[in-house]
Amino acid sequence: MLCATLLLLNQELGIRIPRPLGHGPSRFIPEKETVQVGSEDAMMHALFADSFATLGRLDNVTLVMVFHPQYLESFLKTQHYLLQMDGPLPLHYRHYIGIMAAARHQCSYLVNLHVNDFLHVGGDPKWLNGLENAPQKLQNLGELNKMLAHRPWLITKEHIEQLLKTEENSWSLAELIHAVVLLTHYHSLASFTFGCGISPEIDCEGGHTFRPPSVSNYCLCDITNGYHGVDDIHASPAASIPTTESVCEVEALMEKMKQLQECRDEEEASQEEMATRFEREKRESMFVCSSEDEESAPTRDVSRHFEDTSYGYKDFSRHGMHVPTFRAQDYSWEDHGYSLVNRLYPDVGQLLDEKFHIAYNLTYNTMAMHKDVDTSMLRRAIWNYIHCMFGIRYDDYDYGEINQLLDRSFKVYIKTVVCTPEKTTKRMYDSFWRQFEHSEKVHVNLLLVEARMQAELLYALRAITRYMT
């Protein structure tokens, strides 16, 4: 009330008042369907309070994630630990690494947030002009960052050795683990940001405007993401008016799940067949790309801090690329990754383990309008599909299931969010699982985020382990 009067007063005085540009925390989810601050339940409220206390703000990521408070709690705890608590890296390094990672995906939202934090903890503003202005030590990390973000399977122990063995500016193992966890955390968080269409914070670039409301209502991010106001008009009715087709979609999916459940025991594929299925799925995932891919706006360098061309996004040819298979049994998170992380960066292994667990096991036993559904099969399919895209294979999984459960538009969405999040559009978001709730789509995003993070971590940790032995 007081604020409102104050604002009015300012307006009379001729001071320009910035006006929020977004429509709630997410551009994909109508504001009225997100959790409203003030109407949250006790648990959410406690989370908001925690988040506000540690970050000094309620960011839009939190406001979207709060659909799943159980996960959000673990997420915030981990992020707080990584950024604020005792760790091998100094505070400004942590934020800078966050900026580096987010900039890989041109995620201006995260970059802006962390630029503020970086300056706040006393970071040198010069570093923000580009990676070449940062200390050599951080520059060395650039290569790893690039590979982790786009082709983690190429990381070898030689890369690790290069970081650890250079005479000066070398990293210690504990620092490296911390950096790797931060990098993967922000890569996957960038996926979430784009996957859910998080709006820029009001105080950040692109989050507000001084123009009167009527002129334009899309921001910088929208442009780069190929989001056009027109789409909105087309997409919204599709999402809101259930067409017969989309109702069928849910029914069909449930039917398939039931079928798979039943026929599993009867039809047994041979060892070779299973391997072929995995290879096929892996290959196909390479070719899955959105039809909109070409028409999406050219990747513009939103993050002004990294204008350096050598640091720009390097697209690699998906065609003819061979992803070597990583057998999950050889290096699993539970057995190997956890132990390594916890050894070098105590407690983080535990926190990540908890977060993976919650994300993987989270279920409300509902699917769209249906209740009491066992969704474990679907969740496992999504998780394994993502790992499959990274070349991680589980011997005990029949990859044929993926084809049955995930339709093409969904695969396109997953592939885009996980591999090239900056190309995600609202149309993609709207076109998969049209009948599902927004909270369920956010749930899918959580699975994508965690699966991606784990996959990246596994490759990096495996390389570190190989270096150590």
Partner 1 sequence: MDENLLATAATNGVVVTWNLGKPSRNKQDQLFTEHKRTVNKVCFHPTEVYMLLSGSQDGYMKCFDLRKKDSVSTFSGQSESVRDVQFSIRDYFTFAATFENGNVQLWDIRRPDRYERMFTAHNGPVFCCDWHPEDRGWLATGGRDKMVKVWDMNTTRAKEIYCVQTIASVARVKWRPECKHHIATCSMMVDHNIYVWDVRRPFIPSAMFEEHKDVTTGIVWRHLHDPYFLLSGSKDSTLYQHIFKDASQPIDRANPEGLCYSLYGDLAFAAKESLISSDSNRKPYIGDRRHPIFFKRKLDPTEQFEYISSSSALSVFETDVESGSMDWFVHTAKQYALAGRPLAELCDHNAKVAKGLDRNQVAQTWTMLRIIYSSLGTVSSTNLNHSMGKGSTTLPLMNSFNLKDIPSGLGSESRLDRSKGESRTENILMDSSSTLINNEDNEETEGSDVPADYLLGDVEADEDDLYMMDHENPHAEEQEYSLPQEAFPLRHEIVDNPSALDHLQDKADSPHVSGNEAETVSLTPVESFSLISISHSLYENRLPSDFFNPIVRDTLLFYAEQGDVQTAVSVLIVLGDRIRKEIDEQTQEHWYTSYIDLLQRFQLWNISNEVIKLSTCRAINCLNQASTTLHINCSNCKRPMSNRGWICDRCRQCASMCAVCHHVVKGLFVWCQGCSHGGHLQHIMKWLETSSHCPAGCGHLCEYT
**Of the residues 3, 107, 263, 388, which is catalytic?**
107
Nearest-angstrom CA–CA distance, 342 and 426: 39
- The token pair at 322 is 């061979």
Dihedral sign, CA of 57, 63, 65, 69?
positive
Nearest-angstrom CA–CA distance, 74 and 431: 30
Residues numbered 77 to 106 that lie near partner 1 (CB under 8 A) are none
- The token pair at 85 is 């608590």
Q: How far is the CB of 354 from partner 1 (least distance, A)?
A: 11
Q: Which is nearer to partner 1, 279 or 353 (CB)?
A: 353
The number of beta carbons lying within 10 Å of the beta carbon of residue 197 is 22
The verdict on 266 binding partner 1 (CB under 8 A) reads no
Q: Which is nearer to partner 1, 279 or 437 (CB)?
A: 279
The verdict on 273 binding partner 1 (CB under 8 A) reads no
Residues numbered 388 to 447 that lie near partner 1 (CB under 8 A) are 395-396
CB 115 within 8 A of CB 103: no
DSSP state of 198: B
Q: How far is the CB of 266 from partner 1 (least distance, A)?
A: 12
- The token pair at 380 is 């496992």
Q: How far is the CB of 63 from partner 1 (least distance, A)?
A: 32
Nearest-angstrom CA–CA distance, 336 and 1: 55
Q: How far is the CB of 408 from partner 1 (least distance, A)?
A: 27
Q: Which of 124, 273, 307, 334 forms a contact with partner 1 (CB under 8 A)?
A: 334
The verdict on 261 binding partner 1 (CB under 8 A) reads no
Q: What's the alpha-carbon Rg for the chain, to the nearest Å?
A: 22
Q: Which is nearer to partner 1, 272 or 315 (CB)?
A: 272
The verdict on 232 binding partner 1 (CB under 8 A) reads no
Element (H, E) at 367: strand 366-367
Per CB under 8 A, which region of 8-16, 62-70, 144-152, 338-346 contacts partner 1? 338-346
- The token pair at 456 is 């990246």
The verdict on 358 binding partner 1 (CB under 8 A) reads no
In 7-120, where do the E strands start and end? 19-20
Distances (CA, A) of 277 to 83, 286, 329, 331, 333: 41, 14, 18, 21, 24
The verdict on 268 binding partner 1 (CB under 8 A) reads yes
Distances (CA, A) of 460 to 10, 147, 265, 389: 53, 10, 37, 16
Residue 127 sits at φ, ψ, to 5 deg, of -60, -30
The verdict on 274 binding partner 1 (CB under 8 A) reads yes
Q: How far is the CB of 323 from partner 1 (least distance, A)?
A: 20
Q: Which is nearer to partner 1, 372 or 396 (CB)?
A: 396
The number of beta carbons lying within 10 Å of the beta carbon of residue 40 is 16
Q: Which of 5, 244, 317, 469 forms a contact with partner 1 (CB under 8 A)?
A: 469
Binding residues for partner 1, total number by CB under 8 A:
19
Q: Which of 39, 214, 271, 317 forms a contact with partner 1 (CB under 8 A)?
A: 271
CB 415 within 8 A of CB 288: yes
Q: Which of 258, 318, 343, 370 forms a contact with partner 1 (CB under 8 A)?
A: 343
Q: Is 289 a catalytic residue?
A: no
Q: Which residues pair with 26 in a beta bridge?
A: 198
The verdict on 338 binding partner 1 (CB under 8 A) reads yes
Q: How far is the CB of 335 from partner 1 (least distance, A)?
A: 6
Residues known to be catalytic: 107
Judged by the rule CB under 8 A, the positions of this chain that interact with partner 1 are 264, 268, 271, 274, 327, 329, 334-336, 338-340, 343, 353, 395-396, 465, 468-469
